[in-house]
């Protein structure tokens, strides 16, 4: 860092007091930005000069955004089983929201396998990269994937309406009218996020939306799976009948994919392994690419 001469220091300080930016001063004196900051960082500016500098920064930001910030093209077309699975996860353990002007899609799960699969599908189906994944802990460790996209958020809300189960979200009509593979993909997202399998084989899934559970019960019955709707403490539940043949039908047609158990005797185990072990006495042999679809 080359030092400034005494006369230069005075001139630099005087120019800064007039509201000239550090970068412009550095260019004028052919010195580094660090050198200018050293002598100007403690210069006190009047309120009018501070306002002037703030407006200049905002102006440059607008010019930059207009010139360089291009909206990412979103691959958004007809429904398929991957999109159905993504929609399910957003309904159940995900969120759509506009936070301080940022349009966010988030998905939270205790299973990093589930998070990685969600990220992979978002890239494949919507050409959307994950902005970040952060990890926290409440009852158990959880991971949250965060995506930013105004276009996708607005499209999803336009085409599928309310996503909050607290506000009565239900299964979209396009899912209910689709083929079995698409409906099952949506159901599997529900069981991974909101479903449970106890050590004695009880299969239940819950939601704050009564209409969502009613739709899910109907969809399971269409697949020939016997189930009932139950209510407790402000939640609605779907419970799968514990008849072994019925549970095997659930396991074969719907089942679990990446979800993990977060508490109890089988904590940290994959739900699919616990169900398979209950039904057949052994854990299913993993496919070549373990726990990834």
Residues 104 and 49 in one domain: no
Q: Are residues 209 and 97 in the same domain?
A: yes
Report the run of H or E that residue 96 belongs to, with start and end. strand 94-99
Give the mean pLDDT of the chain.
85
Give the chain's domain count. 2
Higher pLDDT, 186 or 103: 186
Note the pLDDT of residue 180. 95
pLDDT in tens, 1-52: 556 677 888 888 888 888 888 888 888 888 887 888 888 878 888 888 888 8
Provide the whole-model pTM.
0.71
Q: Give the C-alpha distances (Å, rounded to integers) separating 252 from 70, 192, 272, 279.
A: 45, 15, 11, 11
User: How many whole angstroms separate alpha carbon 125 and alpha carbon 86?
Assistant: 9
Clarify whether residues 25 and 128 are in a common domain. Answer: no
- Among the residue ranges 4-8, 146-150, 210-214, the one predicted with the least confidence is 4-8
Q: Please state, for a pLDDT cut of 70, what percent of the chain lies above it.
A: 88
Instruction: Give Cα separations from 119 to 3, 103, 108, 276 (angstroms).
Output: 50, 17, 11, 27
Alpha helices by DSSP H, listed for the chain, are: 6-17, 22-29, 33-40, 47-68, 81-92, 112-126, 150-160, 173-176, 180-194, 210-222, 244-253, 271-280
* pLDDT tens profile 163-177: 888 888 899 998 999
Same structural domain for residues 60 and 124?
no
Of 37, 68, 99, which marks where a domain is finished? 68
In this predicted structure, the answer to whether residue 243 has a pLDDT above a threshold of 90 is yes
pLDDT greater than 90 at residue 101: no
The tokens describing 41, both together, are: 């960082």
Domain that holds residue 142: 81-280
Q: Is the pLDDT of residue 259 over 60?
A: yes
Does 122 have pLDDT greater than 80? Answer: yes
DSSP one-letter code for 260? B
Query: Is it the case that residue 75 has pLDDT exceeding 60?
Result: no
Is pLDDT at 233 greater than 60 in this prediction? yes
> Which residue from 168, 147, 158, 154 is spatially nearest to 91, judged by alpha carbons?
168
Same domain, 191 and 146: yes
We report the CATH number of the domain holding residue 145 as 3.10.28.10
DSSP letter at 258 equals S
């Amino acid at each position: 860092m080359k030092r400034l001469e005494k006369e230069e220091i005075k001139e630099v300080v005087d120019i800064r007091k007039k509201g000239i930016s550090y970068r412009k001063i550095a260019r004028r004196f052919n010195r580094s930005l660090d050198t200018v900051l050293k002598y100007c960082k403690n210069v006190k500016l009047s309120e009018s000069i501070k306002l002037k500098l703030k407006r200049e920064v905002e102006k440059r930001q607008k010019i930059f955004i207009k010139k360089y910030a291009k909206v990412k093209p979103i691959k958004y077309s007809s429904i398929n089983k991957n999109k159905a699975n993504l929609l399910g996860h957003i309904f159940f353990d995900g969120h759509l929201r506009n936070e301080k002007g940022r349009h966010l899609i988030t998905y939270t799960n205790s299973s990093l396998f589930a998070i990685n699969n969600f990220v992979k599908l978002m890239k494949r189906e919507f050409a959307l990269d994950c902005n970040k994944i952060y990890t926290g802990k409440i009852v158990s460790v959880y991971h949250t994937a965060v995506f930013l996209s105004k276009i996708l958020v607005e499209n999803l809300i336009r085409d599928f309406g309310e996503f909050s189960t607290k506000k009565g979200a239900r299964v979209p009509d396009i899912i209910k009218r689709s083929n079995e593979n698409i409906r099952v993909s949506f159901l599997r997202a529900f069981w991974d996020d909101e479903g449970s399998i106890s050590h004695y084989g009880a299969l239940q899934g819950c939601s704050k939306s009564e209409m969502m559970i009613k739709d899910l019960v109907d969809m399971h019955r269409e697949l020939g799976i016997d189930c009932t709707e139950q209510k407790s403490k402000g939640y609605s539940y779907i419970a799968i009948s514990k008849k072994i043949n019925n549970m095997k039908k659930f396991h074969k047609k719907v089942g679990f994919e990446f979800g993990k158990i977060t508490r109890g005797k089988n904590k940290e185990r994959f739900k699919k392994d616990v169900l398979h072990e209950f039904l057949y006495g052994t854990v299913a042999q993993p496919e070549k690419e373990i726990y990834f679809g």
